Amino acid sequence: MHIHILGICGTFMGGIALLARQAGHTVTGSDASVYPPMSTQLEEAGITLMEGYEPGHLQPAPDMVVVGNAMSRGNPAVEYMLDNGLPYTSGPQWLSEHILKDRWVLAASGTHGKTTTAAMLAWILEDAGMAPGFLIGGIPKNFGLSARSGDSPFFVVEADEYDTAFFDKRSKFVHYRPRTLILNNLEFDHADIFDDLAMIQRQFHHLVRIVPGNGLLIAPADDVPLQEVLEMGRWTPLETLGPGGQWQAELLHDDGSAFKVLLESKDCGTVNWTLTGDHNVRNALASIAAARHAGVPAGIAIEALAKFENVKRRMELRGEVNGIRLYDDFAHHPTAIETTLNGLRRQTGDARIIAILEPRSNTMRMGIHAESLPASLEKADQVLIFSPASLEWDANGIFAPMGNKAKIYDSTQEIVERTAADARSGDTILVMSNGGFEGIHQRILDALKSSQER
């Protein structure tokens, strides 16, 4: 079968492409923006990528068009598909019908930490010899690819609350029918499709409603919006984590690089790993609890996490030049930004942190969380904000209270030049964006090398 995917380079749709290719289908795809690491892994899998959304990409007609949720009416390829009666479906629906049917689905949901938690869980199952399938919105370094079918009944999926497609406005995750469900946290996000937090809570309630009675829900005991979701109705056993929960962590290092795992106050073992931050400690507790439900003892899961390597673009060290370290992070919400910087500050101590932010997500561009951004960046010593013409709010006004600590730029080249000129040995540069950011990471490293050679 020939499958053509519209929006193939998105993290989710790229995973669908890999799964379809592994199933033996011929896979092609179109996207407006084709850039690594997704483009690289797709091409290596023998998938043909096409730039833009030309009707010619659908000639000759594929057997099925899988439509990404970034596609909308008016898109030339979408209009051609509809006018010519081509068969089409959504990514989540295709996944449900062709991959997840008859599988034990373990889903990681929530506003933050879905990708990392799903990667942790997949790795625990893999290290325990359970050969899971998975679809993750990033590339876990332990696997080197974002999706695979797997050789067992178990399948780990990152469960996103974003809508499914222009013709299916339900959240993606309702298609997955998980038996084991992690509910990491819940905040207002995706303001382009949700009016308020209550709308998102309703979607999470729909998800909770489809988890079977012999399944398991895992949620923090101290997350009020999630507790309100569970109060709407629950038909599945629940295990809680964090303060007041059944699963707790006792930090042995303040930065979260070592901690004891406690279940009902019983010591299950100690995690010693390369990750840091309270958020990753919580992600670990959730993944240990989920793996236990699938049959992996907590002690085995703890041993696996010692070998866990994080997902690309989650505090990924991209390079070091003359004692200056540059990290790439996917943070695109004030809570994630603040959490990431808090963890980094615990690592760096008094050393300088230069934070570079691209407010790229739809919610960020709309300015929904704009007023929260200055406080979220407080732990940084210098803040450089990319403010292109497409930004729908006044960055200069929002960041004015930070004084000279924050600088606003409408050109990434200016950011590269300023960073290369100001950075000195011992500094940490943290670049935060949920997109390619015009390749700024490597450009900064190249500029630092050039300045060093002068």
Q: How many domains does the chain have?
A: 3
> Is the pLDDT assigned to residue 314 strictly greater than 80?
no
In a domain, 106, yes or no: yes
Query: Sign of dihedral through CA atoms 23, 24, 26, 27?
Result: positive
Report, as an integer, the average pLDDT of 31-52.
86
Report, as an integer, the average pLDDT of 252-267.
94
In a domain, 444, yes or no: yes
Domain boundary among 253, 276, 305: 305
Q: What angle do the packed helices 298-305 and 114-127 form, to 10 degrees? A: 110
Q: Per-residue confidence at 389, pLDDT binned at 50, 70, 90?
A: confident
Domain boundary among 56, 91, 126: 91
- The reply to whether omega before 37 is within 30° of 0 (cis) is yes
Please state, for a pLDDT cut of 70, what percent of the chain lies above it: 98
Report, as an integer, the average pLDDT of 360-380.
84
| Cα–Cα dist 194/213, whole Å | 29
> Quick one: pLDDT at residue 55?
97
In a domain, 439, yes or no: yes
Q: What is the CATH number of the domain that holds 22?
A: 3.40.50.720
* Domain span at 328: 316-453
Does 247 lie in the same domain as 115? yes
| Cα–Cα dist 323/375, whole Å | 28
> Is the pLDDT assigned to residue 331 strictly greater than 80?
no
Q: C-alpha angle with apex 117: 302 to 377, nearest 5 degrees?
A: 115
> Quick one: pLDDT at residue 191?
66
Length of the chain: 454
Q: Is 76 helix (H, G, I), strand (E, B) or coil?
A: helix
Does 155 lie in the same domain as 180? yes
Does 248 lie in the same domain as 121? yes
Q: What is the CATH number of the domain that holds 131?
A: 3.40.1190.10
Report, as an integer, the average pLDDT of 134-163.
92
Does 376 lie in the same domain as 440? yes
Higher pLDDT among residues 42 and 107, named by residue: 107
In a domain, 217, yes or no: yes
**Segment 424-451, tens digit of pLDDT:** 999 999 998 987 788 899 999 999 988 7
Does 110 lie in the same domain as 255? yes
> Quick one: pLDDT at residue 254?
87
> Quick one: pLDDT at residue 454?
56
| Cα–Cα dist 381/114, whole Å | 29
Q: Per-residue confidence at 308, pLDDT binned at 50, 70, 90?
A: very high
Looking at 20-24, 77-81, 141-145, 177-181, which range is the least confident one? 141-145
> Quick one: pLDDT at residue 428?
96
End-to-end CA, the chain? 56
Q: Please give the mean pLDDT across all residues of the chain.
A: 92
Report, as an integer, the average pLDDT of 83-94.
98
> Quick one: pLDDT at residue 54?
96
Q: What is the CATH number of the domain that holds 387?
A: 3.90.190.20
Does 395 lie in the same domain as 322? yes
In a domain, 96, yes or no: no
> Is the pLDDT assigned to residue 453 strictly greater than 70?
no
Report, as an integer, the average pLDDT of 36-46.
83
> Is the pLDDT assigned to residue 100 strictly greater than 70?
yes
**Segment 276-303, tens digit of pLDDT:** 888 899 999 999 999 999 999 999 999 9
**Segment 180-191, tens digit of pLDDT:** 999 998 987 776
> Quick one: pLDDT at residue 10?
86
Does 161 lie in the same domain as 129? yes
CB atoms within 10 A of CB 223: 22
In a domain, 336, yes or no: yes
Q: Is 62 helix (H, G, I), strand (E, B) or coil?
A: coil
Q: Per-residue confidence at 33, pLDDT binned at 50, 70, 90?
A: confident
Does 286 lie in the same domain as 384? no
Does 174 lie in the same domain as 277? yes
Report, as an integer, the average pLDDT of 50-73.
96
The two structure tokens encoding residue 39? 């483009």
> Is the pLDDT assigned to residue 155 strictly greater than 90?
yes
Does 409 lie in the same domain as 365? yes
In a domain, 152, yes or no: yes
> Quick one: pLDDT at residue 102?
92
Does 153 lie in the same domain as 59? no
Domain boundary among 91, 115, 137: 91
Does 228 lie in the same domain as 80? no
| Cα–Cα dist 199/421, whole Å | 46
Q: Is 350 helix (H, G, I), strand (E, B) or coil?
A: coil
Report, as an integer, the average pLDDT of 124-132.
97
In a domain, 370, yes or no: yes
> Quick one: pLDDT at residue 237?
98
